[in-house]
Chain A
Amino acid sequence: MITLTLKRESNIPLDGDVITPDALHDKTNAKIKSTLITWGNKKLPLGEFFNVDGEKSSSITVIGNCDKVKLIGHEMSFGSILIKGNAGYNTGSYMTGGTLEIEGNTRDYLGAMMEGGQIICNGNTGHFLGGAYKGESSGMEGGEIIVHGNAGHEVGGFMRRGLIVVGGNCGDFPGIFMLAGTVVIIGQSGDRAGANMVRGTVVLMKDAPILPSFYENSLLRSPAIDVLLNRISRFGINANPGHTFRRFNGDVNQIGKGEILVCTSKQN
């Protein structure tokens, strides 16, 4: 177990892309301390910002308010990271495996371009959760992201595979340009869910306005959704199975093969 305790908070952000099991798992304590980390436009030893305990482990705990530490878990492929506190931008971006848990809040682009593994955020997160960086034609390609709190706009934009669950509310455009995969919003979703989605599923557990480019075609009680909701409730999110959903198909301005499921029963 490697424990990194933030000892120096600064307004200038740190690029924490070296805080991954991939980069640290084979390093001695001294080596970890001397690993260079980008601070603003300088590269300084990690030991200047963190107290480092432990060595040679694929499980990392980061303690402190890391709101200004970006890119923790960037491109991680195995092991685990636990952040006891907040995390900054791009946490878990391009992650391909392992688990990443954040006890506090994160900023935008949590799990952006993710390819595999699991991210659990116990607080709130920002915009572009599991999103695609600007210009990319496909975003999240696999893995799962569970957010217990609220999320911002464009959850799961350009998503191609995987699962995103938002336990709280989310902003506008969840599932925009989605190519496939599943987005579940337990709380209140913003407007324009599934805009331009090609395939994939957006599940809204509370009623929200749906764009005219989706046609409502049936009422649905699906065992598959129940299995999914059961699985979600195991993360401690209040997602009871057994509901009936209104099923919308669209976006007809694309090929119209996506679906939005809106829960009909009032909850809680």
Chain B
Amino acid sequence: MGIRIDNGEVIDPIHEEDCVSRSVHIKDGKIVKDAGKDAFVIDAKDCVVMAGGVDIHTHVAGPKVNFARLMTPEDHRYEHITREGGYERSGTGGVAATTYTTGYRYAEMGYTTIVEPAVPPLGARHAHEEMVDIPMLDKALFVLLGNSEIIFQYLEKGEQEKVKEYISWIMDATKAYSVKIVNPGGTNLWKYRGNLSDIDEKLRDFNVTPRQIINSIADAMTELGLPHPLHLHCNNIGLPDSYKTVIATINAMEGRPVHLTHLQFNSYGSSGKRKFNSQVPALADIINSNPNITIDVGQVVFGHTVTITADGPFEYHLHKLGGQKWYNGDVECEDGCGVVPYDYKRKSFVNCVQWAIGLELFLLIDDPWQVFLTTDHPNAGPFMAYPTIIKMLMDKDFRKEQISKISAEAQLEIPLKVLEREYSFYEIAVITRAGTAKRLGMTDKGHIGIGADGDIAIYRKSNDYEEMFSIPAYVIKDGEIVVKDGKVVKQVDGRTYYVKPTTGHADIKSDLEDFFENYYTININNYPVGLEYLHRPQLTPCLD
């Protein structure tokens, strides 16, 4: 049976529809012209109708997320969901929530697609097994290659074709959607307890610099026609003056398309009384004049969280600052990871500046198609805070009220205090679904045109945008009503998107066999993840 949504105001930025009153028809899981006479009718009077949300960067599955769950039983203890409460599977909450809880919570906010952006190739099997247990959502994962020793070896010899061939092989072996680079070179040096401070610094074991790594992988990805460009977590994250690294990286990219992820963590300067300030105005200027660059924010949310990143040295730095629990897990030949619980405090000057920087990025980057809403879940805060962030963007009075609550010293210094811009519904739709779907190259997502996936979120209009976006009237996934009044009513399983690039210009088989024999501890034949690990696998074609 189809579904027809009547009387709603459709916001579909991909088709430039801004509050257009029209009916939406869904049948067989897709948006269609006419759902037929027997269609179930939803009256969306006083509601906005948007495509299901698409989160471009959220850590929800994989080995390091599971370590975060393992390490934070104290968070799970105070929050849980039960079958009695209407859910198919019980689970516990907290910031690093269990897989089922994660799926339900996303759906209950109107999100239908997420991307797990940082999986080391060796952990891909684990990540896929976990993603099968995340219901309600379509999923994809990015594979981490910024510290891959195989790529370093090829770079040393200048064999770009082989880099390309390897990326193609590893993406198929891990059933990944795109490639992410985290602290290129730095995590490799962490294996000797080191780190990099400059993109032209050489590694210890390899005659390679971050500049080479980034450019080589970006070029290879463009040539392979991957739907999403390089997803980059820059060097020197979280440190004062990290904005200089971003500028150097952007310059080094020489116009190649790139997605700079959780840029908030890299927008710090070192001036001001406390030697820590916002450099968003400088970065926003560059981004505004480079349409090839997109970013997601990584908005800080005050409160308790747990940080999870492949940036091993940064996590150790954070652990030393606060003395919290710290887990480090280097991954052979590939990458590393670290987990540290953290509290963002309103009293802390640095945390407040970080919080303001996130909002400044939203407000100072002119084109919403270049800036996306994330909290880098759970690094800067849990994704459950999205509705609050949306309210801060749409309602400047609410924002000012929030500013008045942070550290007085920070209030004086942040550029945020003079910003008056307010987001419209249209712009919110861009930063939460249309823009992200477009940047991910998921052509079936993020819009309500004929042929798109039947993923719809219907929000009741309200002046309290937080309430509006946290309790959708309906959420429809693949043409089925799965959430009603902000509560899951039906559990469904989503697809896993992957990309299978082809090249065949270089032969790397014997290289790989040698490499695995010498440096890995598992057999190359046991390495690739087969399609049997994916639930409803969905192949996304490469660009020409």
Interface string of A121-145 (1 = CB under 8 A from B): 0000000000001111100000000
- Give the complex CA separation of A134 and B324 in angstroms: 15
Question: B residues within 8 A CB of A134?
Answer: 73-74
Q: What's the dominant secondary structure at chain B's contact region?
A: loop
Q: Does B77 contact A (CB under 8 A)?
A: yes
- Give the complex CA separation of A136 and B94 in angstroms: 13
- Give the complex CA separation of A137 and B342 in angstroms: 12
Question: B residues within 8 A CB of A133?
Answer: 73-74, 77
> How many Cβ-Cβ contacts under 8 Å join chain A to chain B?
14
CB distance from A128 to the nearest CB of B (A): 14
Name the CB-closest residue of A to B70. A135
Name the CB-closest residue of B to A254. B323
Q: Does B72 contact A (CB under 8 A)?
A: yes
Q: Does B247 contact A (CB under 8 A)?
A: no
- Give the complex CA separation of A136 and B73 in angstroms: 8
Question: A residues within 8 A CB of B325?
Answer: 137
Residues 10-66 (chain A) with a chain B CB within 8 angstroms: none
Residues 67-94 (chain B) with a chain A CB within 8 angstroms: 71-74, 77
Interface string of B316-345 (1 = CB under 8 A from A): 000000001100000000000000000000
CB distance from A252 to the nearest CB of B (A): 15
Question: A residues within 8 A CB of B71?
Answer: 135
- Give the complex CA separation of A137 and B324 in angstroms: 9
- Residue picked from A133, A134, A135, most chain B C-beta under 10 Å: A135
Question: B residues within 8 A CB of A137?
Answer: 74, 324-325
- Give the complex CA separation of A156 and B511 in angstroms: 58
Name the CB-closest residue of B to A255. B323
Question: A residues within 8 A CB of B324?
Answer: 137
- Give the complex CA separation of A137 and B71 in angstroms: 11
CB distance from A233 to the nearest CB of B (A): 37
Name the CB-closest residue of A to B75. A135
Name the CB-closest residue of A to B76. A135
- Give the complex CA separation of A20 and B485 in angstroms: 35
Question: A residues within 8 A CB of B74?
Answer: 133-137
- Give the complex CA separation of A137 and B77 in angstroms: 13
Interface string of B45-86 (1 = CB under 8 A from A): 000000000000000000000000001111001000000000
- Give the complex CA separation of A134 and B73 in angstroms: 7
- Give the complex CA separation of A137 and B72 in angstroms: 10
Residues 127-175 (chain A) with a chain B CB within 8 angstroms: 133-137
CB distance from B68 to the nearest CB of A (A): 12
- Give the complex CA separation of A134 and B72 in angstroms: 9
Name the CB-closest residue of B to A43. B84
Name the CB-closest residue of A to B73. A135
- Give the complex CA separation of A268 and B72 in angstroms: 46
- Give the complex CA separation of A135 and B71 in angstroms: 7
Question: A residues within 8 A CB of B73?
Answer: 133-135
Question: B residues within 8 A CB of A136?
Answer: 74
Question: B residues within 8 A CB of A135?
Answer: 71-74, 77
- Give the complex CA separation of A159 and B72 in angstroms: 19
- Give the complex CA separation of A115 and B73 in angstroms: 20
CB distance from A188 to the nearest CB of B (A): 32
Question: A residues within 8 A CB of B72?
Answer: 135
- Give the complex CA separation of A136 and B341 in angstroms: 11
CB distance from A139 to the nearest CB of B (A): 11
Question: A residues within 8 A CB of B77?
Answer: 133, 135
- Give the complex CA separation of A133 and B324 in angstroms: 17
CB distance from B305 to the nearest CB of A (A): 14
- Give the complex CA separation of A136 and B72 in angstroms: 8
- Give the complex CA separation of A134 and B325 in angstroms: 13
- Residue picked from B74, B77, B325, most chain A C-beta under 10 Å: B74
- Give the complex CA separation of A133 and B74 in angstroms: 8
Residues 134-163 (chain B) with a chain A CB within 8 angstroms: none
CB distance from A113 to the nearest CB of B (A): 9
Name the CB-closest residue of B to A198. B323
- Give the complex CA separation of A136 and B77 in angstroms: 10
- Give the complex CA separation of A74 and B410 in angstroms: 41
Show 14 residue pairs from A and B whose CB-CB distance is below 8 angstroms, ordered by the A residue: A133-B73, A133-B74, A133-B77, A134-B73, A134-B74, A135-B71, A135-B72, A135-B73, A135-B74, A135-B77, A136-B74, A137-B74, A137-B324, A137-B325
State the 7 A-B residue pairs at the shortest beta-carbon distance, nearest first: A135-B73, A135-B74, A136-B74, A134-B73, A135-B72, A133-B77, A133-B74
Q: A residues bordering B, Cβ < 8 Å?
A: 133-137
Q: Beyond the given A134-B73, A135-B73, A137-B325, please list 11 additional residue pairs across the A-B interface where CB-CB is below 8 A.
A: A133-B73, A133-B74, A133-B77, A134-B74, A135-B71, A135-B72, A135-B74, A135-B77, A136-B74, A137-B74, A137-B324
